[in-house]
Amino acid sequence: MHWLAEGLSGLVDLLLPLHCAGCRRAGTAWCADCARELGGLHRVARPLLGPQPPVYALGRYRGAARRAVLAYKEAGQRHLAAPLAEHLVTGLRVITALHGFDRSWWLVPAPSRAIAARRRGGAHMTRIAHRAAAALTASGWPTAVADCLVTASTAADQAGLDTVERVANLSGRVLARTGRFPPRGAQIVLVDDVITTAATAASSLAVLAAVGSGAAAVLSLTATADCDERVDPDAPNGRGNSCPPPHVPGG
Read off the pTM.
Answer: 0.85
Question: Which residues in the chain land under pLDDT 70?
Answer: 1-17, 114-122, 226-228, 234-251
Question: In angstroms, rounded to a whole number, what is the distance separating the alpha carbons of residues 89 and 81?
Answer: 12
What rounded mean pLDDT belongs to the chain? Answer: 85
- Here the contacts of 174-179 (C-beta below 8 Å, separation 24 or greater) are 174/111, 174/149, 174/150, 174/200, 174/203, 174/204, 174/206, 174/207, 175/111, 175/149, 175/150, 175/151, 175/207, 176/148, 176/149, 176/207, 176/210, 176/211, 177/147, 177/148, 177/149, 177/150
Q: Given this model, what pLDDT does residue 1 score? A: 45
pLDDT of residue 4: 47
Instruction: Domains for the chain: give ranges and CATH numbers.
Output: 34-238 (3.40.50)
Q: What is the per-residue pLDDT for 169?
A: 75
